Amino acid sequence: MGSVFNITIVDCDSLSANKNIDKTIEEISRIENLISEWQPHTQISQVNQNAGIRAVKVDKEVFELTQRALFYSEMTNGAFDISTASMDKIWKFDGSMTEKPSEEAILKSITNVNYQNIVLDSISSTIFLAKKGMKIGFGSIGKGYAADKGRELMMKLGVKSGIVDASGDIATWGTQPNGKAWTIGIRNPFKKHKTAKVLKLKYGAVATSGSYEKYAEIDDIRYSHILNPKTGYPATGLTSVTISGPSAEFANALSTSIMVLGAKEGKKLAKKYPKYQFLFITDQGKVVK
């Protein structure tokens, strides 16, 4: 998935631990081989290749993940959209950009983005992208989903506790060997080597979306690598959004959406889901929780 996964488990011995970790890696690879848009053989790649042509039959798991992605789009009024995979890459977040792309280029970049053009048929388990040139991708929730599924597998195998960390999308269960909850530090991008908060999790998950590692700075404004699907412009206003709750997938969907919505609307959205807690850090360094 183009990310580093760290898997930590508490087990009876290192032989059993390595065996269980290998099974988790197999599970993550299995998911990647279903949903990667970069590998031509996957079901999602087949869906993208047939955009505007025909519906593609997919596994129940892929269908249901896509179904949930559309629910996230509806609940955020389009701030979350898996069809941003078709967006033209006109923004550069490697420090090389000195001026914004033209208004015309930005509008053109979102021509094929619209979750409402993703047509699902639950009876035949098919996905159809109604417009040629459309593409879907799970960069926004795929890692969180894999972390959840890795945790689910470990629990089925009888592993009492551990952490699946998918480059910051984290699913935990059980406790540390000393009986204490797992401690997850939330980085404060404005204070080097300082944490904004330390979370204590048993069965839980946490996801952070932010602009502090990948961004473009133009005329003293920081533009996040997270793009608004409706406007084609990068998100501004929030430097990081952390969501914690039961599911890493859902936490990731919320954190990505709130980066786009901004603090005021993001707070309203987060409060609709009382099982999830939020911590925002604004572009001015203010912590909202």
Mean pLDDT across the chain: 95
Query: Is pLDDT above 90 for 96?
Result: no
- Nearest residue to 72 (alpha-carbon basis) of 273, 278, 280, 218: 273
Q: For the residues 271-282, what does the mean pLDDT come to?
A: 96
Q: How confident is the model at residue 220 (pLDDT cuts 50, 70, 90)?
A: confident
- pLDDT average, residue stretch 39-53: 96
Q: Is the pLDDT of residue 63 over 90?
A: yes
Label residues 53-87 b or e (16+ Cβ within 10 Å = b): eebbebeeebbebbeebbebbeebebbbbbbbbbb
pLDDT for position 36: 93
Among 83-87, 210-214, 247-251, the range scoring the smallest mean pLDDT is 210-214
What's the pTM? 0.94
Indicate the pLDDT class of residue 14, thresholds 50, 70 and 90.
very high
Give the residue with greater pLDDT, 2 vs 6: 6
With 90 as the cut, is the pLDDT of residue 217 above it? no
| % pLDDT > 90, the chain | 87
